[in-house]
Structure 1
Amino acid sequence: MRLEQLYYLVEIYRSKTISLAAERAHISQPALSAAISKLEDELGVNILKRTNQGVYPTEIGELIIQKAQEIIESIEDIKQIAKRNSLELNGNISMAVEPGVNLTIMPEVLTNFKYNHPKVNIFVKVGESNNILRDVQSGKADFGVILKTDELMQAKDINLRELFVDELVLIAGKQSPISRQGSITLAEALAQPVVLYNTEYVTNCGISGILKRHGDFNVLFRVDNLEMLEKILLHRECVSFIPKFMAEEYGKFSEIAIIPISDVPLDITIVIIWSSRHHLSMVEKELIKGIKSTCCDV
């Protein structure tokens, strides 16, 4: 068994086709196929199934590829450790975060990380959780920080790590009659016109998925930025459901009232996700470590 065979195997798993894997590995298709065939002969098992729709691992192949990925990650870590000993960390990171995390957690994370690793370039996209999931699946984002949604739990080839648990609360403009109530039942809340945060022309956002478990509700608007959401709440008698840790930021500085839901807990979990086809680099792991550390204080 040779190390390059494991690299080829993982590249085929990520690419799902021999031709694309060969192109990415800078090797001819026949040479790549031969390397995998030799590995299968050596191990005495079929690792891959070749179909008209692409190449997929067998049941035993899934386990072998998982171990191959772990070996490759360990080798990459060794390289990064050696590099870090002689050079500063550098590289590019493309990440996507839901707005509550961006508003409350990322300023401290990014400030500390950039101070310690000035040569790393970070691009942060802010979006709705299910939209971020699709960005991670497609490779547009290296990893994401999102709500744990129904769509996420049905997704394949996604790794996740839980950061912390929170709950949804209701917010409304302080001039709204509903804001004068100390608390509200979920049925009363769902009876209000609702403004939802969503960043694409897709209606199945994570928060609406949670609300649908408890009944129907009337969506007044779907908006793609928080400033617009806040302005609508200040000018209309309507409400929005957002995570409590995010709502507390609104309560500090704006004319937005936080209204707890009295009878039904709307628990949510904030998670980090990345594709199982994406190897987390040392710089990405360092940034994730900073996010985890900051979230411990939430």
Structure 2
Amino acid sequence: MNIEQLKYIVEISNAGSLKTAAQKLNISLPALSQSVTKLEKELSITIFHRSRKGTHPTGEGKILIQKANEVLEKLQAFFDEAEKFTHTLKGELKIATFPGPLDLLADQITLYKKDFPFTKASIEEDNSQHIIEKVIKEEVDIGFILYTEEDIKNNKNIRFHKLYNGCMVVAVNKKSPLANNSYITEKMLENQPIILYNDHSILDFVQNLDVLEHKMEILFTTNNVETIRYALERNTAINIGYDYAFKTITGLANNNSYVTLPFVDTIKNNYYFGYIYPAHKGITQVTKEFLKRLT
């Protein structure tokens, strides 16, 4: 048995197929299959059921894969601790983020690089669903997203760390009759022209509103925050979105041309802001040091 074999069974479990895992691990399919078969023979245990529908862990396999996850996390902690003794932090930090904290993260990376010049850092902006996919594929080390309990339930291979509790709000121009209210009901949204930021939690929330069918006018969705700001300032549409966005995103925050209103208490609309990372991989020392400074 070796460490590579532990990595292999964890990746196969996450991918659900030998072919996908082999592509991710950048090794040939026969080599991966042979390595797992060799491990199974060594342990005298069948770790995976193989079929045309995919490769899935057996009951015993699930337990061993969980233990392999724990071993790999401990191994990463070992390397991180050893790295401290070199007195020079090295490595790469790849971040993907929802637009809100982009400016803050960029400022922190600048300061971080001054203290750790031998590190490399990159940051990209995207919506929360795409960031979840990038974290699962390990295209980035860490993602800052807005998410719901449903996202936690549907992504067991991701660790979620909450930083902020939020709620959905409706943004309306101050000249709109809606601006005179202290909260928004579904009835008030009837026949209102609406634009939405293209994020899965926002779209799911709107889809579940009873008023949607026949009575709500969704003009379009967009990934451009400036388009939303433009429509709000000119009173051509209203926007349903995250309260966090209107507190943090440049262009949306501190804008005197519109107001944000909460939904009535009977409408469940909670979400969280925080960071995510692959459950089986853990967080590297480079990432840990950045998060320590950020918080």
Aligned to 1:123, the other structure's residue is in SS state strand
> Residue 276 of structure 2 aligns with which residue?
273
> Residue 64 of structure 1 aligns with which residue?
64
Letter in 2 for 1:142: D
CA displacement, residues 221-266 of structure 1 (integer Å, 9 cap, x when unaligned)? 2121211210111123321122223323445244232223344452
> Residue 258 of structure 1 aligns with which residue?
260
CA displacement, residues 29-53 of structure 1 (integer Å, 9 cap, x when unaligned)? 46x5555445334434211222235
- Summarize the Cα distance change of 1:195–1:24 in structure 2 as closer, same or farther, 3 Å threshold: closer
- Summarize the Cα distance change of 1:93–1:178 in structure 2 as closer, same or farther, 3 Å threshold: same
> Residue 186 of structure 1 aligns with which residue?
185
Give me the whole-angstrom Cα distance separating, in 2, the residues matched to 1:186 and 1:253.
24
> Residue 227 of structure 1 aligns with which residue?
226
> Residue 208 of structure 2 aligns with which residue?
213
Out of 216-225 and 48-57, give the one that drifted further. 48-57
Aligned 8 A contact 1:93 1:122 in 2: yes
Q: Percent identical across equivalent pairs?
A: 25
Letter in 2 for 1:213: N
- Summarize the Cα distance change of 1:18–1:135 in structure 2 as closer, same or farther, 3 Å threshold: closer
* Deviation at residue 220 of structure 1 after TM alignment: 1.6
- Summarize the Cα distance change of 1:228–1:28 in structure 2 as closer, same or farther, 3 Å threshold: closer
Aligned 8 A contact 2:197 2:223 in 1: yes
Output the aligned Cα RMSD: 3.2
Aligned 8 A contact 1:160 1:272 in 2: yes
* Deviation at residue 197 of structure 1 after TM alignment: 0.9
Give me the whole-angstrom Cα distance separating, in 2, the residues matched to 1:170 and 1:20.
43
* Deviation at residue 290 of structure 1 after TM alignment: 4.5
- Summarize the Cα distance change of 1:51–1:166 in structure 2 as closer, same or farther, 3 Å threshold: same
- Summarize the Cα distance change of 1:186–1:49 in structure 2 as closer, same or farther, 3 Å threshold: same
CA displacement, residues 270-295 of structure 1 (integer Å, 9 cap, x when unaligned)? 2423344545322233334445x2xx
Q: Report the number of matched residues.
A: 284
Aligned 8 A contact 1:158 1:276 in 2: yes
CA displacement, residues 199-227 of structure 1 (integer Å, 9 cap, x when unaligned)? xxxxx721121232232132122121211
Give the structure-1-normalised TM-score. Answer: 0.78
Letter in 1 for 2:271: I
Aligned 8 A contact 1:183 1:261 in 2: no
Structure 1 stretches lacking a partner, 5+ long: 199-203, 294-298
Letter in 2 for 1:48: F
> Residue 172 of structure 2 aligns with which residue?
172
